[in-house]
């Protein structure tokens, strides 16, 4: 499974389609991925595990959200 995540991160170009957010306005998608990233990091830190899988959420929200929101 770890190899699958690493290959996805290497081939990552932009956020994939998410059927929960089918409309053009991707604000909620941005916000949800931002929350998922921070929840993932918190959960991995609590377990003492590597937070590499959380980078997927980081890259998605960074590509969806406006630059002024990310900074």
Q: What is the pLDDT of residues 2-59, one digit of tens each?
A: 667 677 767 777 788 888 888 888 899 999 999 999 999 999 999 999 988 899 899 8
- Give pLDDT, residue 71: 81
pTM, 2 dp? 0.77
pLDDT at 39: 96
pLDDT score at 17? 84
Residues 6 or more apart in contact with residue 28 via CB below 8 angstroms? 21
Q: Which domains does the chain have, with CATH numbers?
A: 26-70 (1.10.10.140)
């Amino acid at each position: 499974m770890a190899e699958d995540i690493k290959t996805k991160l290497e081939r990552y170009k932009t956020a994939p389609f998410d059927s929960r957010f089918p409309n053009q306005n991707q604000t909620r998608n941005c916000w949800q991925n931002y929350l998922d990233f921070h929840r993932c990091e918190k959960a991995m830190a609590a377990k003492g595990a590597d937070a590499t899988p959380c980078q997927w959420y980081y890259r998605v929200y960074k590509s969806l959200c406006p630059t002024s929101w990310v900074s």
